[in-house]
């Protein structure tokens, strides 16, 4: 990263003032549930959980509840699922709850009518060290960029996306072989602790809001939503670039490419791989396989040793499981 933001040390003091607050929690996925669980188990008062409406999913298009709704329902927390955040009836319900504080984690962009409603404001937990990696996919993008450190930040919401005043930050190192899934789980745990500390600081007023540093656009890394085109492997790139793309998209959505032989084209997702730099004259994407356990592909400056992948029509598996049934692997090329 171009700049390491100042870190606030987490206190071990027993929470007290925050437990008197009326908290509205807004979130949707598992990443948000970890913090909501910590809030509930620490004895804080959550008067409502706001989450996305149930959506049809799977082959049967059965309605699927969000992870936050499932946990909140089990914990006896009232659940609100507005189709539109500016719906007058929903806003009136929120006002009737008389919230002291709003906590937002992995939710939608909120209108001012919501984030300004709680007496102490609304804060968000973001999975990066702001102002770096503002956007929807900070965990994936940090690993894809080959970063060695990231972190979590709590900040007060304002009218600009991910630009509010910072309350707390906690840095987290990224392992050289770590993927986005592992980093997600570690940031989720660290973030849950930071949320508790942030609630206490806002409850007592024991904090100084920190305006986010202005960093030139050339030094600012962003984290836009990942689309299918972003996940495609370009075998003409360097091995480290490809390896980081694979790590940053594993396990979801998965870095992908095609495997071609004549007119046949098969979609492949690659989940784990290592890189060996080497000079060669092979066309990038050329496949080398020994039919036992090794599957290697040429890239611009060496070879990528693929150890786990998913070939369309088969299940996700280790290379040594796939190769015995793919005896003509070397006749294909990755594109």
Please give the full DSSP string across 39-107, using - where no structure is assigned. Answer: HHHTT-EEEEEE-PPPEEETTTTEEE--HHHHHHHHTT--EE--SSTT-HHHHHHHHHH--SEEEEES-
Is the pTM here over 0.85, yes or no?
Answer: yes
Do 36 and 87 have their domain in common? Answer: yes
Quote the CA–CA distance of 326 and 328 in Å, as a whole number: 6
Total structural domains in the chain? 2
7 assigned to some structural domain: no
Q: Strands 22-27 and 45-50, how do they pair?
A: parallel
pLDDT at position 291 is 62
Do 211 and 260 have their domain in common? Answer: no
230: tokens are: 């972003």
Do 140 and 181 have their domain in common? Answer: yes
Do 185 and 292 have their domain in common? Answer: no
pLDDT in tens, 130-157: 999 999 999 999 999 999 999 999 999 9
Give 5 or 194, the one with higher predicted confidence.
194
Share of residues in the chain with pLDDT > 90 (%): 83
**pLDDT level of residue 104 (50, 70, 90 thresholds):** very high
Over residues 220-242, the mean pLDDT reads 97
Range of the structural domain that residue 287 is part of: 228-334
pLDDT at position 13 is 43
75 assigned to some structural domain: yes
Do 78 and 103 have their domain in common? Answer: yes
| Least confident segment among 76-90, 170-184, 241-255, 311-325 | 311-325
């Amino acid at each position: 990263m171009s700049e390491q933001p100042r870190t606030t040390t987490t206190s071990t003091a027993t929470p007290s003032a925050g437990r008197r607050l009326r908290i509205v929690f807004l979130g949707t996925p598992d990443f948000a549930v970890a913090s909501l669980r910590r809030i509930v188990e620490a004895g804080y008062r959550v008067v409502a959980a706001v989450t996305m409406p149930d959506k049809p999913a799977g082959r049967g298009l059965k309605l699927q509840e969000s992870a936050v709704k499932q946990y909140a329902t089990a914990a006896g927390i009232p659940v609100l699922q507005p189709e539109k955040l500016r719906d007058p009836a929903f806003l009136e319900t929120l006002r009737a709850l008389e919230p002291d504080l709003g906590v937002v984690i992995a939710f939608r962009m909120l209108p001012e009518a919501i984030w300004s409603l709680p007496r102490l404001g609304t804060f968000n937990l973001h999975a990066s060290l702001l102002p770096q990696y503002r956007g929807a996919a900070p965990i994936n993008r940090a690993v894809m960029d080959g970063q060695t450190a990231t972190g979590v930040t709590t900040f007060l919401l304002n009218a600009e996306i991910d630009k509010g005043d910072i309350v707390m930050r906690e840095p987290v190192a990224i392992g050289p072989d770590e993927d986005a899934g592992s980093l997600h789980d570690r940031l989720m745990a660290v973030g849950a602790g930071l949320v508790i500390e942030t609630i206490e600081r806002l409850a007592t007023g024991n904090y100084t809001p920190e305006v986010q540093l202005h960093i030139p656009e050339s030094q600012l890394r962003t984290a836009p939503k990942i689309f299918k085109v972003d996940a495609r492997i370009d075998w003409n790139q360097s091995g480290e670039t490809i390896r980081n793309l694979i790590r940053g998209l594993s396990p979801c959505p998965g870095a992908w490419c095609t495997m071609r032989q004549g007119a046949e084209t098969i979609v492949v997702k690659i989940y784990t791989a290592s890189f060996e730099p080497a000079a060669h004259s092979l066309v990038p994407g050329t496949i080398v396989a020994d039919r036992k356990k090794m599957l290697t592909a040429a890239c611009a400056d060496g070879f990528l040793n693929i150890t786990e992948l998913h070939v369309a029509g088969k299940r996700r598996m280790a290379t040594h499981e796939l190769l015995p049934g793919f005896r003509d692997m070397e006749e294909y090329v990755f594109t």
